Structure 1
């Protein structure tokens, strides 16, 4: 007597493996990846925006210099970069779409998505040498202190009656933006920062680069500013070649008081030198300039750090010179840093810039960390500028020829946000600050209820038909679908907590479609079993032979479905990716159930008396003809 195919003699082992998979998956779902709270919360998959609501942020693109909306190509590139930044935050199923010709809408499921506020920032990084710095003395310039009626001469060594301008902050302190800090070579130099610089004006730097034609809209703004402040005052401001010295003449800045009434766009129309030299232009006005106001790498710019106005040189290193950026925990300092690796060309530029700042040539003008005679400091500051903000302005204390770090008051979240902004590049379009709103899930819940009702009715019809047509074999179908559902549910919980996979209506549709694939594998196996009995084999020997022939077809069919899901996942975005992922996941789990449950349980059933009964087994007339030893297709039943 021939023996059944090898590998099918121990169905209990396969069932034990399936049980082990169940135990591992549900242990992960209950206790893994930070699970906490009651059981109902631990066994709760991460649901999408259309099921539980969430946050929706809208970014409005700024008009270009000609007054036109950005091109569709620029908007599409911006959408792609924003989507990459959102996905890098550890969320998934984020929907990033272009709405109209200027809006990009980002939708995320759940509450508390504060990280959306930064994904639309332009993230134009520039490294600029600090040429000059002075305090934000706008109020003092407008309302200078009045001398007393009979002032006495200051005693020898006294500082005089005029108040001095506030000094800029020391570079080692925290600054605004993404946590502030220093830019340093890894490991950080141990030289302590010098004392803050004084407000004494340095010689005016000469504008670099060739003069470019002034756009028509900028000419109109300049004419508007000149009319607003007065032609005489504007002409006097245009002639300034150095910051107004309020120490020796406290009233010298009062004539420039009208400049304090300018708006951010109007201030932006002025030259960087005028923005810096006019004392009544405040940091609040400079911060109110449009996004992208100081992005031009070929021109000098004026900006602020912690209340100090700074005139910065042209950008000799830019964000595209950085190969990658990553958040890291400095083990020595115990602080989070953003590590920067430069490209080959970028590393050469960065080394040249730090060499220039560390050993300035004779006659070079730059702000040192301490200009007091007693300090003897001679090194320049280099400002790290992200969009309109200086995130760090350290004194360069060495030539940096390798990996560098931005250090400061970073948290894990802020370090990751800054690294992602640098890593995923600058947006080709600047955006106005995002407006966020809460999205209700009422419609999604109604659709979910309707979908689950339809799925329940469909499953009930499938179960009724399976029991009617296959009887005992219908029990195998029913149990297999239940096990597949339990495996899928545990996988959803674990993936939602570990990778951020979010279940949406599209994902549910993918799981429902996979039921058809599972049903196909049942039909293939059971019909192959009938064919084996038709050919004259007993049910007991027909089961392993039918499996040996049917499994190749089942594997081929499921492999094609998985390949289609993978291709769809790669070439699509948003909810379509969710559909493809759900379809592929459920198909893989169906294969697990086919190999570790369906065939082993059929092997066990084949050894029972019920399986040999035509009324119970579901093999019906085929088995009846075989057991009565009647001719079936010209053959008699015999043991294989």
Structure 2
């Protein structure tokens, strides 16, 4: 006779101690608090619109010839500027249109200087330097030649005005100069009465040869005033350069990056070219062997290296104002984003109230 096996009762469930639930609840609360804090910080840093105390720049947007910019150019300018600010990593970047020709740029106040450093057109050109001379040392542009003046729609009117202010005898004497070393060059006066537009309208050879035309004057010409397809005069570090037509431009650039060159202990900007741009850059370095190539950004010479060999790789900008990481990063961002399709002029700097 068999008997059914006894069924053992199930083991009693283990009770979870109260302290476990308290610790779990505390962890959840801490995680939620951390998430909320991080979200608030990210919104305050990178988005959510301007807050009280942020810097605000008002920009007037015009065409490259000084005429009114069309709506498409204004919108592309807005988009490119916002892209630059985001690449630069400034806090709370915003660029909004507040009128048909006006943009408002806002960002965290601690980033005000970095924001301002990328509010330029960013026109890049590479040119062979054919001559150079030390410019007369002065920080004063003279006349009404102010930073940010707009390029005239035509050079004829400013040139006529310049000739009238100078007098025909002075203008003709300046035009006849063989170079800045000409004994008659130092005797010519009256150029300090000219406006930015009038200085920009003078022949490049005259701009180079007349000592009274200073780098302070030339560097206040409207950005983009220099033609790419002709010889020009431009300045860098108190040196005036006579330059050939541009052999490569910003359109040939694929990207730009700030990097610390440990060999020279300085920040530099590395420029990578498109395939066709690489060919143009290599051809320029071959033409300029043992001569200087001037690299211009917005018509100012930022670097003028002497070419020691044909360069089939990247270009490198160093020296000048590139003495900090911020300066190099701002230039790399400006060049990497491409030039603005319009002129921009800062008309006001405010604080968000």
Quickly name the TM-score band, shorter chain normalised: 0.7 to 0.9
Q: 1:271 aligns with which of 194, 203, 206?
A: 203
Aligned to 1:431: 344
Instruction: After TM superposition, give the deviation of residue 234 of structure 1 in Å.
Output: 1.5
Do 1:55 and 1:107's aligned partners in 2 also have CA atoms closer than 8 Å?
Answer: yes
Do 1:264 and 1:287's aligned partners in 2 also have CA atoms closer than 8 Å?
Answer: no
Do 2:50 and 2:107's aligned partners in 1 also have CA atoms closer than 8 Å?
Answer: no
> CA 1:322–1:101 in structure 2 vs 1: closer, same or farther (change >3 Å)?
same
Higher alpha-carbon Rg: 1
Instruction: After TM superposition, give the deviation of residue 55 of structure 1 in Å.
Output: 1.2
- SS of the equivalent of 1:257 reads coil
Aligned to 2:283: 352
Aligned to 2:165: 228
Instruction: Deviation per CA, 1:349-400: give whole Å up to 9, x if none.
Output: 1111111111xxxxxxxxxxxxxxxxxxxx1001110002211111111111
Instruction: After TM superposition, give the deviation of residue 278 of structure 1 in Å.
Output: 2.5
> CA 1:230–1:326 in structure 2 vs 1: closer, same or farther (change >3 Å)?
same
Q: TM-score, normalised by structure 1?
A: 0.45
Distance (whole Å) between structure 2 residues aligned to residue 334 and residue 394 of structure 1? 17
Q: 1:394 aligns with which of 305, 321, 334?
A: 305
> CA 1:230–1:331 in structure 2 vs 1: closer, same or farther (change >3 Å)?
closer
Instruction: Deviation per CA, 1:72-97: give whole Å up to 9, x if none.
Output: 11111111100101111213543211
Give the structure with the higher percent helix.
Answer: 1
Aligned to 1:52: 52
Aligned to 2:245: 314
Instruction: After TM superposition, give the deviation of residue 285 of structure 1 in Å.
Output: 1.6
Do 1:57 and 1:116's aligned partners in 2 also have CA atoms closer than 8 Å?
Answer: no
Do 1:60 and 1:431's aligned partners in 2 also have CA atoms closer than 8 Å?
Answer: yes
> CA 1:61–1:400 in structure 2 vs 1: closer, same or farther (change >3 Å)?
same
Aligned to 2:181: 245
Q: 1:380 aligns with which of 291, 295, 301?
A: 291
Instruction: Deviation per CA, 1:6-51: give whole Å up to 9, x if none.
Output: xxxxx99999999767666767999x9xxxxxxxxxx967535554
Distance (whole Å) between structure 2 residues aligned to residue 412 and residue 391 of structure 1? 16
Question: Could you say what the CA RMSD is over the residues aligned between the two structures, in angstroms?
Answer: 3.2
- SS of the equivalent of 2:328 reads helix
Do 1:62 and 1:430's aligned partners in 2 also have CA atoms closer than 8 Å?
Answer: yes
Aligned to 1:285: 217
Aligned to 1:404: 315
Instruction: After TM superposition, give the deviation of residue 53 of structure 1 in Å.
Output: 3.6
Aligned to 2:147: none
- SS of the equivalent of 2:221 reads coil
Aligned to 2:232: 301
Q: Which consecutive aligned stretches of 4+ in structure 1 deviate over 3 angstroms post-superposition?
A: 11-30, 43-53, 62-65, 109-112, 330-335
Do 2:133 and 2:180's aligned partners in 1 also have CA atoms closer than 8 Å?
Answer: no
Do 1:52 and 1:110's aligned partners in 2 also have CA atoms closer than 8 Å?
Answer: no
Instruction: After TM superposition, give the deviation of residue 283 of structure 1 in Å.
Output: 1.6
Instruction: After TM superposition, give the deviation of residue 63 of structure 1 in Å.
Output: 5.3
Distance (whole Å) between structure 2 residues aligned to residue 120 and residue 389 of structure 1? 15
- SS of the equivalent of 2:208 reads helix
Note the residue ranges of structure 2 that are not aligned, 5 or more in a row: 1-15, 139-151
Aligned to 2:335: 422
- SS of the equivalent of 2:317 reads strand
Instruction: After TM superposition, give the deviation of residue 253 of structure 1 in Å.
Output: 2.5
* Matched ranges for 1:175-190 at <5 A: none
Aligned to 1:124: 123
Do 1:138 and 1:281's aligned partners in 2 also have CA atoms closer than 8 Å?
Answer: no
Distance (whole Å) between structure 2 residues aligned to residue 14 and residue 396 of structure 1? 72
How many residues are aligned here? 318
Do 1:138 and 1:260's aligned partners in 2 also have CA atoms closer than 8 Å?
Answer: no
> CA 1:93–1:302 in structure 2 vs 1: closer, same or farther (change >3 Å)?
same
Distance (whole Å) between structure 2 residues aligned to residue 104 and residue 348 of structure 1? 38
Distance (whole Å) between structure 2 residues aligned to residue 84 and residue 218 of structure 1? 33
Aligned to 1:135: 134
Aligned to 1:525: none
Distance (whole Å) between structure 2 residues aligned to residue 259 and residue 50 of structure 1? 45
Give the structure with the higher percent strand.
Answer: 2
Instruction: After TM superposition, give the deviation of residue 328 of structure 1 in Å.
Output: 2.1
- SS of the equivalent of 1:58 reads strand
Distance (whole Å) between structure 2 residues aligned to residue 14 and residue 354 of structure 1? 72
Instruction: After TM superposition, give the deviation of residue 345 of structure 1 in Å.
Output: 0.5
> CA 1:319–1:16 in structure 2 vs 1: closer, same or farther (change >3 Å)?
farther
Q: TM-score, normalised by structure 2?
A: 0.79
* Matched ranges for 1:449-528 at <5 A: none
Distance (whole Å) between structure 2 residues aligned to residue 138 and residue 45 of structure 1? 47
Instruction: After TM superposition, give the deviation of residue 113 of structure 1 in Å.
Output: 2.2
